C-alpha cells in the first residue's frame, strides 16, 4: 500500500466511453440560489426543487421532467412556515404523482398540477424529525425524536386512491424500555416492510455501550413486532454522508463510508426477529484508503445511491473528477473472500459542472445526472447495464467476457484469445497463463507462457487483454475440451490500487473445438516415418541406461509423445534408433524414428499421418512457450533445432 498511486490517479483520470444521452436542457433566467436534486418516480419522472436568489425564504419552485422529455414547472410554492431554514427544505417524489416537501418539523403534499393535498403533515411532540419515502411505492415514513421523553415515534403513511393520506402503522419506541438519550443525528430507512434507523448519540452521555463518537447505533423494527424495544447493533466509524440500505427479500444490505479513512464498508443483516434483534456482519469493500476525499460534498448529500434490485452506486470525488462505483450486492457475495471485490466504474470529468455531490438520480439501471453550466441545466442519462459487475462462470467478477467462451465452438488452429474487463486495466509484472487439454480424465499442458509481449497486449481503450498464442498447434484437435488457467495479479486496475485475481478454479474458462473439420485432401492415405533427435544431454542420459532402462525409456517416450501431440498411442510407434555423429557439437547424438499410422475407426484423432507429422514437428521446433513435451522427463531432451524430420525410408 506504499505505492505513490494518488498522483497517477489524478493525471490519468479521463472521460470514459460510456455513452450519455442528453434528456433535457433548460435555462433559469433568474439566479438560482439552491437546487435540490431530489429524486425520481417509479415511472422515471424526475423531480427537482429550485430556489431563486431574492425570492422570499418561504417559497420553492419545482420542475418535473417526464420520461418523454417534457418539462413541467410548478413555480413559487409557498411553504407554510416563515421561520424555517430554506436550506433544509426537502422536496421528494411520492409515487405515483405526488410531491412531498418536508420542511423542518412538518411537511406538505401536492400533486403534479400544484394542488395542495395537505400543508401540514407531522409527527407531533418531537424535537428532531427525519423523513424518507419509498422509491417504488406510495409509502413514506416520518420519524421524530422527543428529547424529553427520550422516545422515537415512527409513522408510516400512504396516499389513498382518493388522494387522502392514510396511516399504515405507527410505533412509539424506546431503548431497552428506558429511552434513548441525547440523539444528535439520525437517519431512517424503509426497507420493504421493515423500518430502519441509524443514530448517533452524544459522547458526553455515559452509556453501557463502549463506543466512540464515530460509531452509530443501528436498529431495525420488524413490521409485526409488538415489542417497543430497539435492539441496536453498533456500526463502527460511520460517516452519515454515505449510508444506504436495500432489502432483498428477508435480508438487508447497507454500504457506508467510514468517517476516518474514507473507505467503504458493506454490512449485511439477516434473521430479524419479532423482538427486533438481528445478525449483522461487515466487510471492507475495495481498499480506497485515503484516495477519495468527501469534504467537498455537502453534508446533506448522500453519495451512496440505490440501484433498485441490483445494489449501489457510490459517488466518490477526487480533484473535481467524479467517479461512480457500482456494486451488485444482489448477485455477488462480497463476503466471499475467494472473490476479490470488483466494482464497475464510470469516471466523469466534472470540471465544467457546478455541481458535485447530490446531483444524480437512478431509475432502474439508468443514471440521470444534473449538470449545471452558467444558467443552463442539462440532464444526461447513462445506461449502467454494461458496467454492472456480474457473477460469472470464471469466478472472477472483474472479467466481463472472454473469447473463446464456452459457447463459441472454435475452429481448430485458432490462435487468438481475448478478455474484456469491467474497468480499464494496465499490465503488471508478468505471470503465467496455461492452456490445458482435458482428455481421458487427464490434464495435459498445451501451452504455458508469460503474459507479456508478444503473447499479451492491452487494447488501446484499456478494456481488453488480447492474447496471441503465436502458434496454431495449441487447439489442434476437433471436438476436444480445453481450459485456461491464469495466475493471480495478471493485470491491474488503471485507476485503482487493485490487481485482478487470476482464473485458478480448474475448468472454469473452458474452450471447445468444433467437431467439423475439413481434412486436407492430399497425403491422406499413407503412413509417415519421421526422425527426431535427442540433444547432447538427452543422448548422454540415454547412454547411461541399461537394456531394460532403454526399453522403459522408449515405452514412456512413445506415451508422452502421443499425449503431447496428442494422438492415439496406437498410431505412433518407434521404428528405429541409431547414433549419428553431429558436426556442430562434435558428438554422437541419438536419432529415433517413429512411424505414424493412419487413423483407425475408434481413434479420437482422425487427422492424417501428414497432419500429425506437421503438428509434432511444430511442437518440437517451438521454443517460445512451454508445452507438455517440455515438461515430460522423456521428451524434454528432444533437440528443438532438429525438429521432426521426414524420413526417406
Ligand atoms: C431564458 O434564457 C434563455 C437563454 O438565454 C432564452 O432563450 C429564453 O428566452 C429566456 N426565457 C425567458 C422567459 O426570458
Ligand atoms: C423500471 O422498471 C419497472 C419494472 O420493470 C418498469 O415498470 C418501469 O417503467 C421502469 N422505469 C423506467 C423509467 O424505465
Ligand atoms: C415568484 O415570486 C417572485 C417573488 O415574489 C416573483 O418575482 C416572480 O415573478 C414569481 N414567479 C412566478 C412564475 O410567479
Ligand atoms: C409527456 O408526458 C407528460 C406526463 O405524462 C404528458 O402530460 C405530456 O403530454 C407528454 N408530452 C408529450 C409531448 O408527449
Ligand atoms: C432566509 O434564510 C437565510 C438562510 O437561512 C437567512 O440567512 C435569511 O435571514 C432569511 N431571510 C429572511 C428574510 O428571513
Ligand atoms: C416530548 O414528550 C413529552 C411527554 O410526552 C411532552 O410533554 C413534550 O411536549 C414533548 N416534546 C415536544 C417537543 O413535543
Ligand atoms: C411514548 O411512550 C412513552 C412511555 O414509554 C410515553 O411517555 C409517551 O407519551 C409516548 N408518546 C406518544 C407520542 O405516545
Ligand atoms: C439471507 O442471509 C442468509 C445468511 O447469510 C443466507 O443464508 C440466505 O440465503 C439469505 N437469503 C436471501 C434471500 O438472500
Ligand atoms: C485507517 O486505516 C489504517 C491503515 O489501514 C488503519 O490502521 C486504521 O485502523 C484505520 N482507522 C480506522 C479508524 O479504521
Ligand atoms: C437464521 O435463522 C435461521 C432460521 O430461521 C437459522 O437456521 C439460522 O441459523 C440463523 N442464522 C444465524 C446466522 O443465526
Ligand atoms: C422475544 O423476547 C421475549 C421476552 O424477552 C422472549 O420471551 C421471546 O422468546 C423473544 N422472541 C424471540 C423471537 O426472540
Ligand atoms: C475478441 O475476439 C473476438 C473473436 O476474434 C473478436 O470478435 C472481438 O472483437 C475481440 N475483442 C477484442 C476486444 O479484441
DSSP letter, residue 638: B
Residue 408 has pLDDT above 50, yes or no: yes
Smallest CA separation from ligand 5 atom 11, residue: 57
Q: What is the pLDDT of residues 629-642, one digit of tens each?
A: 999 999 999 999 99
Residue 628 has pLDDT above 60, yes or no: yes
CA atoms within 13 A on the CB side of 390: 11
Which pLDDT belongs to residue 378?
81
Q: How far apart are CA 621 and CA 612, in angstroms?
A: 14
Which pLDDT belongs to residue 286?
66
- Does ligand 10 lie within 6 Å of residue 170's CB atom? no
SS3 content of the chain, % helix, strand, coil (to 5): 10, 45, 45
Pocket, ligand 4, Cβ cutoff 6 A: 66, 68, 70
Q: How far apart are CA 637 and CA 581, in angstroms?
A: 17
3-state secondary structure 522-553: CCCCCCEEEEEEECHHHHHHHHCCCHHHHHHH
- Does ligand 8 lie within 6 Å of residue 270's CB atom? yes
Residue 8 has pLDDT above 60, yes or no: no
Ligand 1: centre distance to CA 355 (Å): 22
Which pLDDT belongs to residue 3?
34
Q: What is the pLDDT of residues 551-586, one digit of tens each?
A: 999 999 999 999 999 999 999 999 999 999 988 888
Q: What is the pLDDT of residues 409-461, one digit of tens each?
A: 999 999 999 999 998 999 999 999 999 999 999 999 999 999 999 999 999 99
Question: Of the ligands numbered here, which is closest to the C-alpha atom of 145?
Answer: 6
Which pLDDT belongs to residue 376?
79
- Does ligand 3 lie within 6 Å of residue 55's CB atom? yes
Which pLDDT belongs to residue 590?
95
Q: How far apart are CA 522 and CA 234, in angstroms?
A: 77
Which pLDDT belongs to residue 288?
52
513 neighbors 475 (Cβ within 8 angstroms): yes
Q: Residue 14: pLDDT band by 50, 70, 90 thresholds?
A: very low
Q: What is the pLDDT of residues 233-279, one digit of tens each?
A: 988 888 877 788 998 878 899 988 887 777 888 999 999 999 999 99
Pocket, ligand 12, Cβ cutoff 6 A: 403, 416, 418, 420, 459, 464, 466
Name beta bridge partners: 47: 39, 64
Which of 104, 127, 144, 146 has most ligand 6 atoms within 8 Å of its beta carbon, as the pocket-test mutant?
146
pTM passes above 0.85: no
Which of 148, 152, 153 has most ligand 6 atoms within 8 Å of its beta carbon, as the pocket-test mutant?
148
Which pLDDT belongs to residue 106?
86
Q: 516 burial class (0-12, 13-18, 19+ CB within 10 angstroms)?
A: exposed
Name beta bridge partners: 15: none
Ligand 12: centre distance to CA 343 (Å): 23
% the chain with pLDDT above 70? 89
Is the peptide bond between 96 and the residue preceding it cis, with omega within 30 degrees of 0? Answer: yes
Amino acid at each position: 500500500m506504499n505505492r505513490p498511486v494518488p498522483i497517477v490517479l489524478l493525471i490519468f483520470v479521463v472521460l470514459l466511453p460510456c455513452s450519455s444521452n442528453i434528456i433535457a436542457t433548460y435555462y433559469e433566467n433568474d439566479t438560482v440560489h439552491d437546487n435540490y436534486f431530489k429524486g425520481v418516480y417509479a415511472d422515471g419522472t424526475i423531480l427537482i426543487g429550485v430556489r431563486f436568489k431574492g425570492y422570499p425564504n418561504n417559497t420553492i419552485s419545482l420542475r418535473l421532467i417526464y420520461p418523454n422529455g417534457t418539462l413541467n414547472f410548478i413555480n413559487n410554492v409557498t411553504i407554510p412556515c416563515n421561520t424555517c431554514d430554506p436550506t433544509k427544505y426537502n422536496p421528494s417524489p411520492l409515487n405515483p404523482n405526488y410531491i412531498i416537501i418536508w420542511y423542518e418539523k412538518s411537511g406538505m403534499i401536492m400533486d403534479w398540477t400544484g394542488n395542495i393535498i395537505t400543508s401540514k403533515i407531522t409527527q407531533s411532540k418531537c424535537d428532531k424529525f427525519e423523513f424518507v419515502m419509498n422509491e417504488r411505492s406510495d409509502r413514506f415514513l416520518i420519524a421524530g425524536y422527543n428529547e424529553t421523553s427520550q422516545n422515537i415515534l415512527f409513522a408510516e403513511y400512504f396516499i389513498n386512491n382518493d388522494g387522502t393520506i392514510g396511516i399504515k402503522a405507527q410505533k412509539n419506541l424506546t431503548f431497552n424500555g428506558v429511552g434513548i438519550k441525547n440523539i444528535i443525528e439520525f437517519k431512517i430507512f424503509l426497507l420493504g416492510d421493515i423500518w430502519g434507523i441509524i443514530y448517533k448519540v452524544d459522547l458526553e452521555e455515559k452509556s453501557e455501550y463502549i463506543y466512540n463518537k464515530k460509531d452509530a447505533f443501528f436498529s431495525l423494527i420488524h413490521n409485526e413486532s409488538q415489542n417497543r424495544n430497539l435492539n441496536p447493533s453498533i456500526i463502527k466509524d460511520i460517516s452519515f454522508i454515505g449510508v444506504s440500505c436495500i432489502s432483498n427479500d428477508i435480508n438487508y444490505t447497507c454500504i457506508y463510508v467510514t468517517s476516518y479513512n474514507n473507505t467503504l464498508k458493506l454490512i449485511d443483516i439477516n434473521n430479524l426477529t419479532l423482538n427486533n434483534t438481528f445478525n449483522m456482519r461487515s466487510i471492507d469493500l475495495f481498499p480506497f484508503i485515503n484516495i477519495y476525499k468527501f469534504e467537498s460534498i455537502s453534508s446533506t448529500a448522500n453519495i451512496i445511491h440505490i440501484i433498485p434490485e441490483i445494489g449501489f452506486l457510490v459517488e466518490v470525488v477526487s480533484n473535481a473528477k467524479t467517479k461512480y462505483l457500482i456494486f451488485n450486492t444482489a448477485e455477488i457475495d462480497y463476503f466471499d473472500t475467494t472473490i476479490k471485490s470488483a466494482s464497475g466504474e464510470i469516471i466523469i470529468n466534472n470540471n465544467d459542472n457546478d455541481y458535485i455531490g447530490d446531483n444524480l438520480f437512478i431509475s432502474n439501471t439508468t443514471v440521470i445526472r444534473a449538470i449545471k453550466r452558467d444558467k443552463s441545466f442539462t440532464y444526461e442519462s447513462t445506461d449502467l447495464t454494461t458496467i454492472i459487475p456480474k457473477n460469472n462462470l470464471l469466478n472472477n467478477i472483474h472479467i466481463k467476457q472472454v473469447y473463446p467462451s464456452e459457447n463459441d465452438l472454435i475452429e481448430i488452429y485458432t490462435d487468438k484469445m481475448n478478455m474484456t474487463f469491467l474497468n480499464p486495466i494496465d499490465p503488471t509484472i508478468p505471470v503465467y497463463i496455461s492452456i490445458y487439454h482435458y482428455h481421458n480424465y487427464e490434464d495435459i499442458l498445451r501451452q504455458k507462457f508469460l503474459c507479456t509481449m508478444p503473447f499479451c497486449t492491452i487494447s488501446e481503450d484499456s478494456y481488453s487483454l488480447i492474447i496471441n498464442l503465436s502458434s496454431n498447434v495449441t487447439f489442434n484437435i476437433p471436438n476436444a475440451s480445453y481450459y485456461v488457467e491464469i495466475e493471480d495479479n495478471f493485470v491491474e486496475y488503471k485507476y485503482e490500487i487493485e490487481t485482478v485475481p487470476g482464473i485458478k478454479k480448474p475448468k472454469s474458462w473452458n474452450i471447445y473445438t468444433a467437431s467439423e473439420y475439413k481434412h486436407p485432401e492430399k497425403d491422406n492415405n499413407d503412413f509417415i516415418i519421421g526422425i527426431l533427435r535427442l540433444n547432447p544431454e538427452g543422448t548422454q542420459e540415454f547412454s547411461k541406461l541399461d537394456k531394460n532402462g532403454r526399453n522403459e525409456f522408449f515405452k514412456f517416450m512413445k506415451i508422452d509423445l502421443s499425449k503431447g501431440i496428442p494422438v492415439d498411442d496406437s498410431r505412433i510407434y518407434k521404428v528405429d534408433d541409431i547414433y549419428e555423429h553431429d558436426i556442430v557439437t562434435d558428438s554422437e547424438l541419438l536419432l529415433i524414428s517413429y512411424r505414424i499410422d493412419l487413423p483407425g475407426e475408434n481413434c479420437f484423432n482422425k487427422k492424417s499421418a501428414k497432419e500429425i507429422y506437421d503438428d509434432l514437428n511444430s511442437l518440437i521446433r517451438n521454443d517460445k512457450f512451454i508445452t507438455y513435451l517440455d515438461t515430460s522427463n522423456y521428451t524434454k531432451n528432444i533437440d528443438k533445432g532438429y525438429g521432426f524430420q521426414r524420413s526417406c525410408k
